[in-house]
Amino acid sequence: MSRLTTAFVLGYHGCDARIAEQAVAGEIDILQSERAYDWLGPGAYFWEADPLRAREWAEGKVRNGQYARPAVIGAVIDLGACLDLSNRENIDLVKGAYASFCGEQEAAGLALPENRNPIGVTDPDRLLRFLDCAVIKHLHATIEGVPPEKRIVPPFDTVRGVFFEGDPIYSNCGFHERTHVQIAVRNSDCIKGIFHVRKIP
């Protein structure tokens, strides 16, 4: 695939303050998420150019008891070979992966996973993206299953997606309160530096 995006971006990761200190000190890597409902498939997740959204996410984790103290760390990310889902060429790749995945599931007599909300949550965004995650994982596995000398598409280092989430900010508009760009970093070598965020608006 052609590399059409800018090579380097700033990403922001919400986490517990203890994890932030260890990551900036180089004692640990940023956690690779492997949940079956991750929106962009497996990877270390960042909000692109949005430290405020990363902080809001970490504060939500404090409210539900998962974190003791919220923190945000920044990272310089080289997108490398990026499955950028704002790019038509890559959207076509994912459409093809969906068709292939459907065929495999049908041949195995298995139902397709579904994007859905947690029990008791009514959110039009369908927060648990089981189907999307499975399709992206299938795409990665398909590419990586081809011998290197025969690959047309290289394995992807990162996945980038734009999500129009939340309520419209005013009547009859196309702008949403929680629109954001997320990056899932599959190849940790693409994280070139991690830093404390001094000030968040």
Phi, psi of 99 (to 5 degrees): -60, -45
Q: Where are the chain's structural domains? A: 8-196
Handedness of CA 120, 121, 122, 127 (dihedral sign): negative
Task: State how far the Cα of 118 lies from the Cα of 70, in Å rounded to an integer.
Answer: 23
Quick one: pLDDT at residue 181?
97
The single-letter DSSP state of residue 33 is B
**Burial of 175 per CB tally in 10 Å (0-12, 13-18, 19+):** exposed
Q: What pTM, to 2 d.p., does this model score? A: 0.94
Q: What is the pLDDT of residue 121?
A: 87
pLDDT score, position 124? 83
The C-alpha atoms of residue 191 and residue 194 are separated, in whole angstroms, by 7
In this prediction, residue 23 carries a pLDDT of 96
Reported as a single tens digit per residue, the pLDDT across 69-87 is: 999 999 999 999 999 999 9
Q: Write out residues in the chain with pLDDT < 70, as ranges.
A: 1-6
3-state DSSP helix/strand/coil % of the chain, to nearest 5: 30, 25, 45
Q: What pLDDT is recorded for position 4?
A: 54
CA dist 6 → 3, 10, 96, 144, 158 (Å)? 8, 11, 25, 24, 13
